[in-house]
Structure 1
């Protein structure tokens, strides 16, 4: 904010002649280069500060700072009626409707910090330290005046109350914004109603979105009447039309259909088909249950999950499932409904072109400019590879326990023996491909220890050991704010390839029975490339089947029956195929 001053008597007279009144002109301060035409047909109450080039037109403004070159036009009321922290410190009952995993939000929150706060509830000292960080941030923001940053445009809105608005923010036709923060570049559009919320950089609330007690992450979009309460949304999530209550929506959570209902769950890189319903319908002891759909899960149209439930990464879910399954040991699977039961096809999604397309599209659709959340996009990584290894071990154990069984029951799902054997083959191939990809990158460094279990912390692949060491340091007080918390994880992310290389070396050593030499590493890299090539041939064949002429039904609508060429030409013109 530039140096401010009071208006002169002549300026006050001119401003009043232009239709603007003030409750008390002594509490109105303007920049040195103030022009009376910056205030037109408006009403000012309380303290108002106007920076260079800022304008207020046809609006009521009370207790607000308006930044350089920003305009407030035709706003019923932009006011700060009381002391506020502008959404900082708001409790959000994510994942659990009974508030068992409540996360206090603030404008420094990241997906990784929120993940730790939601998941590690069994560490009370850590939880209290994180709450203290949020309270410190809230106190830093506490004020009796609202603020509008530089180069903002606020027009046609009704009530904006107790809001902290960053730079380059656009508010166009919003109905109600209160007790919240819009960070730099955020947008709030027509008929939006939002309260007790924080919207991160370049996020967008639009077209009648209704938001209450939510964090909306960087470059997220909530639009077209989407209703969200007590939920967290992180980078590049895009939700329209449907409803979300108490969800943790990790990066790239997508739901576009009016009939989607997501309640009390964790999602990440997720897509909800039409009619998707993940809800908590067991109320014997209250709405205490939750479901977790690990990275890359996808709901087909009409899919239904009754909590509690857990699916492995990159699982495709079709049909209704109400037996509370746990398929976390089986990434890249199909979970289907068969005769009213849940049937698992282990590893079946490894042959689907849809999974490949998803993995390739996510980095291409990354719209972030700040990079608030940490995201790993690597297809072959220690987290999923660990799932492949557990899947092979589990499937072998099932087969060895009953070699002649036609079907196997495992954690509330049925696995056919044919699918079990096929799953072992697919997972082994994926392990080889993963090892080769990880060994081909990074370096063998003693100080980059990637051995042991890895986790997916809302988008970031990190060793469980590194996460727990970070939580220990938070409890001890050596990591005392969000910047320090984030810096530790960014340091790990900067050397991700080295940590992944270390993990792969350890896994290869377990296979060989000794530490691999340079030639054995090179052989593993070559084998990985071959395995990857074979897997891509399978997914390409899946794509070719989906794009084959047999799928041209309904194309060439007016084609002559004896001229299949017209059908083919129309099909190729529309599908863009050679």
Structure 2
């Protein structure tokens, strides 16, 4: 940061000739190489520091530090009216509108720490310790002086109040920003209104979007009039046009439609179809309910969920569901409405090319540079594989209890017998595929991956490691937010080793003894064959989607079938 000095009498005179005014010129400080040409037709109030090369045109600035090479232009009021933490410490009632899972946001918040704060409320000692860490961090971020970072730009805005603006950040045409932080490279565009907010590095909020008590994660985008209140959006989310209220949006949560509502739930790697909706109010105890839509879920157009509800990872939801289902044990399924009831097709999504495309596109679309959130992209992992193993046990138990049934009821859903049998085959094949993939990666020894795995804010991690972390927080062995984040990062660095150890233990349990080298090689080869078979099925699904059966409405003015085909293949990019 540059060193500052008082203005000279000659500089004050030059500034006034350029239509600048100040409540007290002695409160305005500049760098050694300051030139009065850096300011024009502007008003300075309170304590103002103007960095090297910083420019202020046609604006009012009050109690602000303007970083080197920054620009403030045509701003009605850039002001810090009181001592502020700039959005740090704001309480966000995520997941539950009645504030039972409140997360205090700060400008280095990670999806993993937010997950701990929201999900582990049954450990009040842990929550209290984490909140003390946040309180200490907030105190460090508190100041009576707002700041505009190096190379940042604030132009065409109306009221920017108690906002810390990071290096290279941009505010262009915002209507009202109050009590917030823009981290480095963040962008706020035309007609945006936001109160009590934090935008992480590279986040973008634009085109009339309205935020209140929100955290917008690294490289996330809220656009085209999207409105959100009491919501958390972590890395690479993209939401437009619709609405969010009390949402924990893990990485890659996507919603693009005006009529779509996300409310009182947890999402990640999620896509909301047009008109999809949830309700968390049964008109009894108030808006107290919540839903969790595990990693990779999709809502078809018009899908509806009445909370509370829980869907397994990579579930496709179609139709209305109001009976409070729990399909968490059945990943890669279809949940469809049938005569007003919820019908589950276990494992049906394993052969969908859409699911394959989703898994492949997420790492390619990672726009982040800092990568605060730990994100696991691995298709074959202990978390989903463990769920599939539990699904096999559950389906076998149902079938054994009544071998001749036409359908089975399980946790508020019905499972047709034919789909149960198909699901068993698909899950067993997918388990072999996943185990082989995990055994093929990582190194043996030194990483204990045994036990249940979790998906913590987008990171696959063994539950035992999370519990150990929480115990260390309780005991004071971990005392800072950086140390908490570092523990998650350390696990992520050795994920392959932990996953291999888990798969090795599962293989040993199946065999009934420690696997030999030959048996290990056989499992890896079987996994490769199973993955090839599943991919072949997904490719068949893709071919159906690209077949001429889908050419309806193409070649509108065609005179023969060849022209229809030419138009179809050209537009679809299939030739």
Q: TM-score, structure 2 length as denominator? A: 1.00
CA offset at residue 281 of structure 1? Answer: 2.6
What is the alpha-carbon distance in structure 1 between the residues aligned to residue 220 and residue 148 of structure 2?
A: 21
Q: Which residue matches 1:10?
A: 10
The answer to whether 1:205 aligns with 2:171 is no
Question: CA offsets, 1:498-517, max 9 Å, x none?
Answer: 00000000110111011111
Pick which of 208-217 and 471-480 moved more: 471-480
CA offset at residue 479 of structure 1? Answer: 1.1
- The 5-angstrom pairing of residues 387-426 of structure 1 reads 387-426=387-426
Unaligned runs of 5+ in 1: none
Q: Which residue matches 1:343?
A: 343
What is the alpha-carbon distance in structure 2 between the residues aligned to residue 165 and residue 509 of structure 1?
A: 55
Query: What is the DSSP-based 3-state SS (H/G/I as helix, E as strand, rest coil) of the residue aligned with 2:335?
Result: strand
Query: What is the DSSP-based 3-state SS (H/G/I as helix, E as strand, rest coil) of the residue aligned with 2:502?
Result: helix
Q: Which residue matches 2:517?
A: 518
- The 5-angstrom pairing of residues 206-225 of structure 1 reads 206-225=206-225
What is the alpha-carbon distance in structure 2 between the residues aligned to residue 278 and residue 495 of structure 1?
A: 38
What is the alpha-carbon distance in structure 1 between the residues aligned to residue 353 and residue 282 of structure 2?
A: 36
| Alpha-carbon contact 1:262-1:279 (below 8 Å) kept | no
Aligned residues: 575
What is the alpha-carbon distance in structure 2 between the residues aligned to residue 225 and residue 246 of structure 1?
A: 18
Q: Which residue matches 1:94?
A: 94
What is the alpha-carbon distance in structure 1 between the residues aligned to residue 174 and residue 518 of structure 2?
A: 63
CA offset at residue 458 of structure 1? Answer: 1.0
CA offset at residue 475 of structure 1? Answer: 1.0
CA offset at residue 448 of structure 1? Answer: 0.3
What is the alpha-carbon distance in structure 1 between the residues aligned to residue 553 and residue 277 of structure 2?
A: 31
What is the alpha-carbon distance in structure 1 between the residues aligned to residue 196 and residue 296 of structure 2?
A: 30
Greater than 3 Å deviation, 4+ residue runs: none
What is the alpha-carbon distance in structure 1 between the residues aligned to residue 283 and residue 219 of structure 2?
A: 35
What is the alpha-carbon distance in structure 2 between the residues aligned to residue 322 and residue 279 of structure 1?
A: 9
The answer to whether 1:360 aligns with 2:357 is no
The answer to whether 1:39 aligns with 2:39 is yes
- The 5-angstrom pairing of residues 52-91 of structure 1 reads 52-91=52-91
Q: Which residue matches 2:566?
A: 569
| Alpha-carbon contact 2:281-2:288 (below 8 Å) kept | no
Query: What is the DSSP-based 3-state SS (H/G/I as helix, E as strand, rest coil) of the residue aligned with 1:326?
Result: coil
Q: Which residue matches 1:500?
A: 499
Question: CA offsets, 1:252-281, max 9 Å, x none?
Answer: 000000000111000000000000102213
Question: CA offsets, 1:29-66, max 9 Å, x none?
Answer: 00000000111000000000001000110000000000
What is the alpha-carbon distance in structure 2 between the residues aligned to residue 269 and residue 540 of structure 1?
A: 22
Q: Which residue matches 1:386?
A: 386
What is the alpha-carbon distance in structure 1 between the residues aligned to residue 563 and residue 240 of structure 2?
A: 38
What is the alpha-carbon distance in structure 1 between the residues aligned to residue 467 and residue 342 of structure 2?
A: 35
Query: What is the DSSP-based 3-state SS (H/G/I as helix, E as strand, rest coil) of the residue aligned with 1:171?
Result: strand
| Alpha-carbon contact 2:153-2:170 (below 8 Å) kept | yes
What is the alpha-carbon distance in structure 1 between the residues aligned to residue 477 and residue 147 of structure 2?
A: 33
- The 5-angstrom pairing of residues 244-259 of structure 1 reads 244-259=244-259
| Alpha-carbon contact 2:129-2:473 (below 8 Å) kept | yes
What is the alpha-carbon distance in structure 2 between the residues aligned to residue 169 and residue 435 of structure 1?
A: 45
Q: Which residue matches 1:487?
A: 486
Unaligned runs of 5+ in 2: none
RMSD: 0.6
CA offset at residue 283 of structure 1? Answer: 3.0
CA offset at residue 441 of structure 1? Answer: 0.2
Question: CA offsets, 1:421-444, max 9 Å, x none?
Answer: 000000000000000000000011
